[in-house]
Amino acid sequence: MLFERYPKEVELQDGSRVVLRPMIRDDEDPLIDFFATLTDRDRLYLRNDVSNARLIRSWFENIDYKRVLPILAVSGKRIVGNGTLHRRPFSWMKHIAEIRIVISPDHRKKGLARALAKELIDNAIDEELDKLTADFAAEQKTALKVFSRLGFKKEATMKNYVTDAAGNRCDLVVMTKDISE
């Protein structure tokens, strides 16, 4: 069912169009190029060192869409957005998934993060999940606003909980969305 809904063309707020589709093995080099477009500030909030090509290459060795569903936003031949739905299919939290989204600097403020999030939510509903989570540094005001508009609620703010790539302590905001209703 996953590949039946793709590719999917989406119109952004500025009238430009991107194609949403699952990541495939041929996307390895374009994904490395995509992450290279991120600024040092962008990378402060990511959980992985996406400047490490070896790490990114490891993601392609055993793609498992039931564990991590990566949906890419592509403009022409260039990846401009990456959204992932992270599941724990064999644990006590198998009904929950986490959403993570990264947008290239030149495609921000066009509604792409919202489109990717909506696409991941739709996939989670199709997989009959019950709840979604998303974690943000408190400074990520735009991301918090986007997810709030999608129905995510703040569950917790953990003070000085995470350390960014520069070594600064940040508050972590945990948001959730019930999708089983």
Check the CA dihedral 99-105-109-112 and report its sign. Answer: negative
Contact 97, 133 (CB under 8 A): yes
**Pairing mode, strands 17-22 and 8-11:** antiparallel
User: Domain coordinates of the chain in residue numbers?
Assistant: 2-132
pLDDT in tens, the chain (181 residues): 577 899 999 999 999 999 999 999 999 999 999 999 999 888 888 889 999 999 999 999 989 999 999 999 999 999 999 999 999 888 899 999 999 999 999 999 999 999 999 999 999 999 999 999 999 999 899 999 999 999 999 999 999 998 876 788 999 999 999 998 6
Determine the Cα angle at 122 with ends 8 and 134, to 5°.
115
CATH superfamily of 2-132: Gcn5-related N-acetyltransferase (GNAT) (3.40.630.30)
